[in-house]
């Protein structure tokens, strides 16, 4: 019994000892846990996040660009990129070989150098196909990562290329509307959190990461791709037929200022903007390249004479059989005209007749009308790189300048300025600001709508009525006869300008043009057609006017304008149905 009792007492002591040991151990663990989870919480939390957490940057998607009928002109598509963290690459040679197998265009030796680099970040391939990116990701190569990016595409190719512009590899606008509205189209990336496994792969992310990438604002333009296609087709066909160095077509709604078409030849494809052969055609020459306008500029002198009432419509001028001396300089006409009325002077584009008509307007007054029409200043169109053109003040004019300016010499204008000036005649006297953007849209909501912007009144309604009558005569009976349309009245003016070369006017190099509007009594568009240095058909009436006619016929059909030709008896007939612009409603009738 004593042994049993002794044994029992011994066992109880050992039990106490074991229990005490475990109790102390548990207490030590509890204290340690308390220290770790409370006292060192911040340290261990940050360590865990550094090892397994990941700051995820959700790249934004650039806004799209649409024409007036919601056709896509520019959009961004998924185009992942491949990069490396060289310090995490285990076998540079083997890794380079595996990457080169998927991307044959990449040099294996160069890949090895990049993978062995001392940099912490190196791009290997930008904007690759999603299929190749998936194939590479399936290999799970240490130190090789895929970044989700997008690439800018232009589904219409060369159509309106210089106007739409282009975006670089980082989707920053570098030309055209892409550059002008870069801050609107782009937006900031969104940052969120996620976790990764031991290989560095993201295994989960916050809810925000699945909400879709942030998206920029969409642009909806005034451009009409159907009209753009028509213009580019006819422009290219005629430029090649007459051997022109280049050509352009600009079409504008005279009541809103919206540009319906801006086509320039040779064409520029923004999908291939890095092509050196295309560099000369990136810029939008309708706003960047000023030219001497030639006879199309005679409308300014005609408008001044009508507005100031210095000439009568039935007044006759002696055009001296096409040759005369004025201020010790020979002034010629393209034909030997004798006596012409004021409208006939315009119809036949007589330089001598226009010089005699405009000599009744003083230099200061003539200069004022030139500036009223917007020449010598920017039109404020929403495109980068606009040139203001060039016109000297009257105090810098020579004795020959007044006559020279009357016929479109000693002044440079941009095609967009010329179209805007003729729009002021077509709409009843208002100079409008031309524009490409109709509205901006964010998601399903319209953020901003751009309304017509009137800059100033140029002429009275009565003057524009009479000037329209004269310009209809130019097409009906004069130099613009090849622009005439069956079923519609066209008002317009042809132009042929000798190019300045080595301080004098060239005898072989010219710029030819025709500008007009239709239907004359209620215009739906003003259109300029221009060719530079044609080798054949070196007059505006024969080279540019037929292109105007072909484009206008198709445009009026597309715009669903029914024929209903009015026959002129008095000048006011042409504007019988025109919107009364003086009421302040700058809208299409």
Do residues 514 and 540 touch, judged by C-beta distance below 8 A?
yes
Q: Cα separations (Å) of 396 from 364, 402, 413, 502?
A: 11, 11, 18, 21
Question: Helix H segments across 274-316?
Answer: 285-288, 298-307
Q: Which of 295, 404, 423, 494 is catalytic?
A: 295
Give the N- to C-terminal CA distance of the chain in Å, as an integer. 125
Task: Tell me 196's DSSP state.
Answer: E
Please, what's the largest Cα pairwise distance for the chain?
157
The tokens for 414 are 């941009």
Question: Helix H segments across 39-155?
Answer: 41-52, 92-102, 108-115, 130-138
* Residue matched to tokens 């070369």: 501
Spatial separation of the C-alpha atoms in residues 459 and 307, rounded to whole Å: 7
Q: How many CB atoms lie within 10 A of CB 210?
A: 9
Spatial separation of the C-alpha atoms in residues 62 and 151, rounded to whole Å: 9
Cα–Cα nearest to 160, from 75, 232, 59: 232
Strand order in the sheet with 122-125: 122-125, 81-84, 144-147
Do residues 174 and 237 touch, judged by C-beta distance below 8 A?
no
Spatial separation of the C-alpha atoms in residues 357 and 491, rounded to whole Å: 21
Spatial separation of the C-alpha atoms in residues 203 and 54, rounded to whole Å: 10
Q: Detail the DSSP E strand segments found in 143-189.
A: 144-147, 150-153, 166-167, 173-175
Q: What are phi and psi of 506, to 5 degrees?
A: -70, 145
Q: Cα separations (Å) of 552 from 228, 473, 537?
A: 12, 18, 20
Q: How many CB atoms lie within 10 A of CB 464?
A: 26
Spatial separation of the C-alpha atoms in residues 174 and 505, rounded to whole Å: 36
Q: What are phi and psi of 83, to 5 degrees?
A: -140, 170
Spatial separation of the C-alpha atoms in residues 526 and 199, rounded to whole Å: 64
The tokens for 479 are 């130099």
Q: Cα separations (Å) of 517 from 108, 155, 285, 574?
A: 61, 31, 22, 12
Spatial separation of the C-alpha atoms in residues 454 and 430, rounded to whole Å: 6
Angle between helices 415-426 and 298-307 in degrees, nearest 10: 30
Cα–Cα nearest to 381, from 257, 271, 514, 488: 257
Angle at 568 between CA 560 and CA 301, to 5 degrees: 95
Q: What are phi and psi of 186, to 5 degrees?
A: -95, 165
Q: Decide if 120 is catalytic.
A: no
* Residue matched to tokens 């005699």: 356
Which are the catalytic amino acids?
A: 295
């Amino acid at each position: 019994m004593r042994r049993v009792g002794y044994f029992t007492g011994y066992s109880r002591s050992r039990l106490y000892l074991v229990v005490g040991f475990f109790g102390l151990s548990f207490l030590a663990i509890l204290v340690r846990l308390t220290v770790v989870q409370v006292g060192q919480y911040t340290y261990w939390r940050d360590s865990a996040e550094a090892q397994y957490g990941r700051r995820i940057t959700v790249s934004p998607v650039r806004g799209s660009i649409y024409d007036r009928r919601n056709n896509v002109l520019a959009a961004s598509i998924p185009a992942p990129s491949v990069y490396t963290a060289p310090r995490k690459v285990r076998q540079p040679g083997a890794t380079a070989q595996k990457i080169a197998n998927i991307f044959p265009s990449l040099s294996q030796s160069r890949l090895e150098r990049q993978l062995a680099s001392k940099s912490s970040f190196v791009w290997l391939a930008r904007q690759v196909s999603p299929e190749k990116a998936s194939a590479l990701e399936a290999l799970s190569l240490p130190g090789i990562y895929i970044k989700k990016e997008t690439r800018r595409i232009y589904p219409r190719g060369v159509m309106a290329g210089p106007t739409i512009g282009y975006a670089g590899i980082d989707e920053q606008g570098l030309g055209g509307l892409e550059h002008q509205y870069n801050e609107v189209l782009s937006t900031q990336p969104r940052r969120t959190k996620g976790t990764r496994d031991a290989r560095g792969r993201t295994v989960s992310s916050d809810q925000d990461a699945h909400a879709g990438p942030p998206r920029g604002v969409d642009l909806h333009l005034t451009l009409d791709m159907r009209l753009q296609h028509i213009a580019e087709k006819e422009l290219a066909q005629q430029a090649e037929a007459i051997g022109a160095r280049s050509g352009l077509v600009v079409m504008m709604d005279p009541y809103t200022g919206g540009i319906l078409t801006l086509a320039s030849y040779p064409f520029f494809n923004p999908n291939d903007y890095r092509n050196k052969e295309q560099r000369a055609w990136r810029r939008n020459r309708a706003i960047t390249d000023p030219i001497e306008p030639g006879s199309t500029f005679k409308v300014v002198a005609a408008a001044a004479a009508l507005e100031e009432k210095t000439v009568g419509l039935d007044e006759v001028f002696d055009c001296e059989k096409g040759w005369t001396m004025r201020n010790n300089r020979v002034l010629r006409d393209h034909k030997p005209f004798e006596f012409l009325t004021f409208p006939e002077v315009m119809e036949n584009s007589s330089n001598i007749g226009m010089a005699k008509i405009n000599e009744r307007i003083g230099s200061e007054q003539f200069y004022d009308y030139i500036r009223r029409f917007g020449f010598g200043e920017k039109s404020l169109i929403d495109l980068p790189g606009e040139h203001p053109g060039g016109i000297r003040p009257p105090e810098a004019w020579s004795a020959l300048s007044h006559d020279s300016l009357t016929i479109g010499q000693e002044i440079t204008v941009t095609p967009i300025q010329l179209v805007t000036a003729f729009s002021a005649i077509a709409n009843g006297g208002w100079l409008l600001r031309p524009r490409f953007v109709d509205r901006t849209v964010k998601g399903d909501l319209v953020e901003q709508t751009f309304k017509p912007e009137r800059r100033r009144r140029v002429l009275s309604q009565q003057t524009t009525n009479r000037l329209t009558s004269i310009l209809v005569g130019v097409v009906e009976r004069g130099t613009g006869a090849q622009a005439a349309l069956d079923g519609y009245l066209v008002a317009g003016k042809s132009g042929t300008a000798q190019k300045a070369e080595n301080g004098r006017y060239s005898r072989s190099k010219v710029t030819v043009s025709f500008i007009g509007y239709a239907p004359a009594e209620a215009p739906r568009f003003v259109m300029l057609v221009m060719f530079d240095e044609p080798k054949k058909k070196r007059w505006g009436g024969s080279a540019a006017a037929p292109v105007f006619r072909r484009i206008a016929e198709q445009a009026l059909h597309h715009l669903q304008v029914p024929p209903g030709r009015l026959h002129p008896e008095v000048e006011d007939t042409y504007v019988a149905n025109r919107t009364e612009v003086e009421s302040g409603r700058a809208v299409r009738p």
